[in-house]
């Protein structure tokens, strides 16, 4: 191997022994590591956009082993990809559900509460959706403030501030012992 850079994903058996908070921290750190490796690139508006790494029926964990593989992810998409990359219990389907009632979010809600996912997505996208109405007005305002801190009025959907915003969300999760606090 020629100086290949890769991420050693936590073993499922190790992950399964962690507390819920530590699992959320591990997933957030995995997203940061993959963003630093340029395997994940933040993009608002889609859960994930297959760039060159995934095809229907493929194991996400297998795809993530390739250091040259990359895809664009929103906040939920990055957390989901990191989570299933550790758990290895998901093969890509053709259609991905972006609401909190889909199979993908049901899996991710094993680690993150629906409310946490709503807060994270609102802070990342800067807007609310019908599925994230379980957060209060004050919580929405805090999410919008977080969003505005990490946005540039002239940015395109995959600008540098989008990268910064996803990194800031993951760092916030780590700093707050596994809980996102906008």
> Domain locations in the chain?
12-175
Which DSSP string do the residues of 28-96 spell out, in sequence order? HHHHHHHHHTTSEEE-TTSSEEESSS--TT-BHHHHHT-TT--EEE-HHHHHHHHHHHHH---B--SS-
Strands 71-73 and 48-50: antiparallel
Torsion sign (Cα): 5, 11, 84, 169: negative
Mean pLDDT score across all residues of the chain:
79
pLDDT of residue 2: 40
Distance between CA atoms of residues 143 and 22, nearest Å: 23
- Residue 13: pLDDT band by 50, 70, 90 thresholds? confident
Other C-beta atoms lying within 10 Å of the C-beta of residue 85:
24
pLDDT tens column, 69-99: 778 888 988 998 888 888 766 666 655 545 5
Ramachandran angles phi, psi of 74, nearest 5°? -90, -170
Distance between CA atoms of residues 163 and 55, nearest Å: 24
The answer to whether 43 touches 95, Cβ cutoff 8 Å, is no
At residue 39's C-alpha, the angle toward residues 158 and 121, to 5°, is 50
Q: Report how many helices (DSSP H) and strands (DSSP E) the chain contains, helices first.
A: 8, 3
| Whether residue 5 has pLDDT greater than 60 | no
| Whether residue 134 has pLDDT greater than 50 | yes
More confident residue, 121 or 11: 121
Mean local confidence (pLDDT), 21-28: 95
pLDDT of residue 86: 83
């Amino acid at each position: 191997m020629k100086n290949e850079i890769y991420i050693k994903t936590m073993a499922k058996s190790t992950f399964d022994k962690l507390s819920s908070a530590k699992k959320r921290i591990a997933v957030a750190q995995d997203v940061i590591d993959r963003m630093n490796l340029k395997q994940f690139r933040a993009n608002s508006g889609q859960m994930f956009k297959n760039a060159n790494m995934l095809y229907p029926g493929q194991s996400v964990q297998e795809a993530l082993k390739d250091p040259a593989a990359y895809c664009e992810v929103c906040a939920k998409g990055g957390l989901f990809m990191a989570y299933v990359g550790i758990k290895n219990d998901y093969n890509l389907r053709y259609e991905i559900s972006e609401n909190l009632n889909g199979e993908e979010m049901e899996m991710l809600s094993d680690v993150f509460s629906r409310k946490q996912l709503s807060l994270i997505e609102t802070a990342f996208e800067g807007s609310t959706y019908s599925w994230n109405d379980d957060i209060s007005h004050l919580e929405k305002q805090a999410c919008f403030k977080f969003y505005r801190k990490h946005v540039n009025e002239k940015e395109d959907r995959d600008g540098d501030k989008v990268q910064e915003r996803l990194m800031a969300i993951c760092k916030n999760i780590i700093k707050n012992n596994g809980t996102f606090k906008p």
